[in-house]
Amino acid sequence: MVLFSLVATHADIDLETVAQLSTGASELATSALSGSPEVTGAIVLATCNRFEIYGEAVHSDDVEAARAALVAQISGSSGLSEQLVSRSFSTRIGTEVTKHLFAVSSGLDSAVVGEREIAGQVRRALIQAQHEGTASSGLVRLFQAASKTAKDVGAQTALGSRGLSIVSVALDLAADLSENADWATKKAVIFGTGAYAGATMSLLRERGCTDVSVFSSSGRAAGFVATRGGVALDEESLPVAVAAADLMIGCSGSDTRVEAGELARVRADSPQPLIAIDLALTHDFDPAVGELDGVELLTLESVRLAAPQEQAESLSQASSIVTAAAKAFEQEREARSVDSAIVALRRHTMNVLDAEMEKVRARHGCTAAAEEVEFALRRMVKQLLHVPTVRARELAANGQQDEYVAALEALYGISVEQAAAPAPLQPSAPPASDPEAECPVDHTQISIDDRRESA
């Protein structure tokens, strides 16, 4: 199995294109599995400034076909040409996938370096894929390891203590632009009830802002404020709240957005200035809002440009943790890749042994001598298998597992893929006419116990 990813981020393309690419992202993983036989697992990571697809394929030769199928699906759902979609994504495979996701989860690849929200988004992407049944075992291990790495970076470096996030930088920027720095006197309106809205509510509370209203076009505002505080708005009460607001923050990315003309009408008699922060990838606020008198518009691009630079030492420490974690993960993955080969070799050898013991019992019956022969042969097989097993682990750690598999096929004619199907640990029960059927010695238990010991 091979891991691959298609990555489109703020670092390579504009955020508008990222937003368009992510249209229909929620159904992409499921459709990728049903429409691409090359893909055995898929997880979609869509945030405010990135759209990434992680997949697992049977062979590295399948990645290009899987990529083409995904590009075609994204083109169909977004309305963008396949050429533009293809140019927008960079493709990673193998170790590059691991290191990139670990860096992303740790906040090292974010517009605000060291941000906190991305680690939660990575966890939620995995949970959603598991719920939908699209997460393969390899992808589950990858995302779990990425989350652990993010925790390590947060605990062991200054990036975690800074507590930076896209929301916190946006609020800092809003404070710098505001004539009144007292958050306790400000009135805020939040659009949306998702993760960013929750983070915004928490940070506003931390800064002393208690007059917070929440609007959701999907009608979830009441449930949101029930556990977090604030006032739920509906279509009728929204204009009044916006007219009196000092700050409005867009976190929803819904199809409904605040148009410039509508905002100008609502705030025609409002004397105080308004700061509008649009954190939604698909804008909650018409870009023309920023041209209105008394309105200052901040976007994700504004936040990215205003984000403070992290100290070189903290970044170096975090990068070292990510690199070490990615290397350890790949070594473990390579070791796992020879498990089926080891099982195949052991199964082949034990089948030969079982066949020979059947001949011994058929010729000599069930005797103490036959039992001693079986014990001796099984111990010998265990010793013979020890070195090939150790060598398999060593070769896998060096990335040479394919050579081991090829050697098994060349020397023993063992097909590792065919051996993947489970086989019984013991021979089938003998027919009733077999003399062994009346044998008082439990050869089955001998076989199982000795195989466990050799394992």
* Inter-CA distances, 272 with 36, 45, 246, 263, Å: 55, 39, 7, 14
Between CA 185 and CA 302 the distance in angstroms is 25
Residue 366 annotated among the catalytic residues of the structure? no
pLDDT value, residue 428: 37
User: pLDDT per residue over 98-120, tens digit each?
Assistant: 999 999 999 888 777 777 788 88
CATH tag, 2-163+312-330 = 3.30.460.30
* Inter-CA distances, 241 with 197, 198, 290, Å: 17, 19, 19
Strand partners, 9: 50
Domain boundaries, the chain: 2-163+312-330, 166-306, 338-454
Alpha helices in 37-80 (DSSP H): 63-78
Give every strand in the sheet of 39-46, ordered side by side.
39-46, 50-57, 2-9, 90-93
Q: What angle do CA 202, 304, 6 make, to 5 degrees?
A: 100
pLDDT value, residue 440: 41
pLDDT value, residue 436: 39
pLDDT value, residue 363: 80
Q: Select which of 48, 209, 251, 439 is catalytic.
A: 48
Alpha helices in 293-442 (DSSP H): 300-306, 312-337, 339-364, 368-397, 401-412
In sequence order, the 6+-apart residues with CB closer than 8 A to the CB of 262 are none
In sequence order, the 6+-apart residues with CB closer than 8 A to the CB of 377 are 353, 356, 357
In sequence order, the 6+-apart residues with CB closer than 8 A to the CB of 216 are 191, 192, 193, 224, 252
Between CA 245 and CA 260 the distance in angstroms is 16
CB atoms < 10 A from the CB of 404, how many? 22
- Candidates 435, 424, 433, 423; CA nearest to 358 is 435
SS3 295: strand
pTM score of the predicted model: 0.64
Burial class (CB in 10 A: 0-12, 13-18, 19+), 423: exposed
Between CA 201 and CA 66 the distance in angstroms is 41
* CATH T-level topology, domain 166-306: Rossmann fold (3.40.50)
Q: What angle do CA 53, 54, 59 make, to 5 degrees?
A: 125
The answer to whether 360 and 373 are in contact (CB under 8 A) is yes
pLDDT value, residue 205: 92
In sequence order, the 6+-apart residues with CB closer than 8 A to the CB of 239 are 266
User: pLDDT per residue over 143-155, tens digit each?
Assistant: 999 999 999 998 8
Which helix (H) or strand (E) segment holds residue 240: the answer is: helix 238-244
pLDDT value, residue 433: 39
In sequence order, the 6+-apart residues with CB closer than 8 A to the CB of 297 are 276, 278, 285, 287, 289, 290
Sign of CA dihedral 106, 110, 115, 119: negative
pLDDT value, residue 3: 92
- Please list the pLDDT of the chain residue by residue as tens digits (455 residues): 789 999 998 778 777 788 788 877 778 888 777 767 778 899 999 887 789 999 998 888 889 988 998 999 899 888 889 999 999 999 999 889 999 999 999 988 877 777 778 888 999 999 999 999 999 989 999 999 999 999 999 888 877 666 667 888 888 889 888 877 789 999 999 998 877 788 889 899 999 999 999 998 888 899 889 988 899 999 999 999 999 999 999 987 666 789 999 999 999 888 889 999 998 777 889 999 999 999 999 988 888 777 766 666 778 888 999 999 999 998 787 777 677 777 888 888 888 888 888 888 888 777 877 788 888 888 888 888 888 888 877 777 676 777 877 888 888 888 775 434 333 333 333 434 344 334 444 444 444 444 444 44
